[in-house]
Structure 1
Amino acid sequence: MRPNLSSLLLTAAACLSLTACADAPVTRAKGLGIDPAAPAPAASGSADVSRQFPIYLTGYTYWDNTPPGSSAIARPVLRQRAGGDGTWQSPITIAVGHSIVGGRQTLDYPAGTRFYLPRLRKYAIVEDVCGDGPTPQGGPCHTGHNGHPWLDIWIGGKGVSPAASDACARRITAVQSAIINPPRDLPVHEGEIATEGCKVFL
């Protein structure tokens, strides 16, 4: 589970911001692994429709996960620990905002929702939550960043130092385009983000 991200907010101003993303339909692709107990995301429309829209992306690491020094996740779908190489078959774990009202947890996007991130050339899947405490809906992960939904992608980092992991998180942090319910055949730069160079393409 991803903790409060206030430290990343301090570095966001220095990160590349891509604000020209259009809220435009892309194509249709079969929805996968939607949690029937959670409501459909308001921003996505039909679960079968691919749609491109701007999001605020941050990264979390092995070193600043909850608990620190772990790859624990809150809502497993494809795996029991955070991971993935960014391919369609092995999308990277992504954490989303959530709310707890009357003891019921509701994710902003259901567990199993898939995204494609053109700037990273990686597929991702919702398997974790971003924000903690009894009222996570009051935190930035749920409320978003300057009107954009906030997504937090697992970048790994067990094999590199905490400082290198933090630098990688800063590098990928930006407002950028995402595709929800993407098609399967988009370009992929395969590998764990922290160990393959934190590469960005746009």
Structure 2
Amino acid sequence: MRRAVLVVLLLAGVAVGCAQAPAVPATPRVAPPPAPAASSAGSSAPGGTVRVEVTFYAGADNDPPGSADIAYPNGRHQTAGGTGTWADPLTLASDPAELPVGTIVYLPRLQKYFVMEDDCEECIAEWKRDHHGHVDLWVSAATDPGVITCEEALTQDRPETIEINPPADRPVDPRPLHDAASGACWPHT
């Protein structure tokens, strides 16, 4: 085992040594512009799309159960919530190593914006294990069994495309994902 590590280290040293001394003078390069500073709204990385597993959660299966507590209270939300607009995105839970806290995403199927502000233990375990992308999206503070049925109805059997740091002008469906008063689930809310 030690011999294998020594060989790997020696090979790495040779590769680094070769990369440090080019045989021909390098052409001068213009340094890229500095990355913009991160805003309080989250990651400032340019928008893009990724395919991830999308699941849903509510007060009924939050941690602690029956609460709207979030791991990263902030100026936007002290507890899970939102309406799904750019100005008031719904709460999203994931692994902060996958999506930095404050990152805004857009889910085209639901026409809603979400913001990363909570931890999802299953998402964290999957990201650590094999970088499996997974987001858990807030439905409502409801704790009745009907909200669990709604979460299951909203969850697809395949990965979905989400847009990371989208522009503010995407279409938004104003209907809630779950209406606690009637027990209705999107799109029937």
TM-score by length of 1: 0.63
Number of aligned pairs?
145
| Unaligned residue ranges in structure 1 (runs of 5+) | 1-29, 41-46, 99-106
Q: 1:172, 1:142 → 2: CA distance?
A: 26
| Unaligned residue ranges in structure 2 (runs of 5+) | 1-36
The superposition leaves residues 94-143 of structure 1 with CA deviations (integer Å, 9 ceiling, x where unpaired) of 00125xxxxxxxx42111000000011100000100007xxx85x23654
Among 148, 155, 165, the alignment partner of 2:147 is 165
Structure 2 residue 154 is matched with structure 1 residue 185:
no
Q: 2:101, 2:94 → 1: CA distance?
A: 9
Alpha-carbon shift at residue 79 of structure 1 (Å)? 1.0
Q: Which amino acid aligns with 1:52?
A: T
Q: Which amino acid aligns with 2:54?
A: L
CA separation of 1:124 and 1:143: change in aligned 2, threshold 3 A: farther
Q: 1:90, 1:63 → 2: CA distance?
A: 22
Structure 2 residue 90 is matched with structure 1 residue 87:
no
Structure 2 residue 111 is matched with structure 1 residue 114:
no
Overall identity of the aligned pairs, in %? 32
Q: Which amino acid aligns with 2:185?
A: G
CA separation of 1:31 and 1:121: change in aligned 2, threshold 3 A: farther
Equivalent residues of 1:62, 1:156 under 8 A apart: yes
CA separation of 1:61 and 1:90: change in aligned 2, threshold 3 A: same
Alignment of 1:20-169 (within 5 A): 32-33=39-40, 47-77=44-74, 78-98=76-96, 107-131=97-121, 137=124, 139-140=125-126, 142-143=128-129, 148-158=132-142, 162-169=144-151
Q: 1:148, 1:171 → 2: CA distance?
A: 22
The structure that is helix-richer by fraction is: 2
Aligned to 1:194: 178
- Note the aligned Cα RMSD (angstroms): 2.6
TM-score by length of 2: 0.67
The structure that is strand-richer by fraction is: 1
Q: 2:151, 2:89 → 1: CA distance?
A: 18
The superposition leaves residues 177-199 of structure 1 with CA deviations (integer Å, 9 ceiling, x where unpaired) of 10000010111112431126322
Larger radius of gyration: 2
CA separation of 1:141 and 1:71: change in aligned 2, threshold 3 A: farther
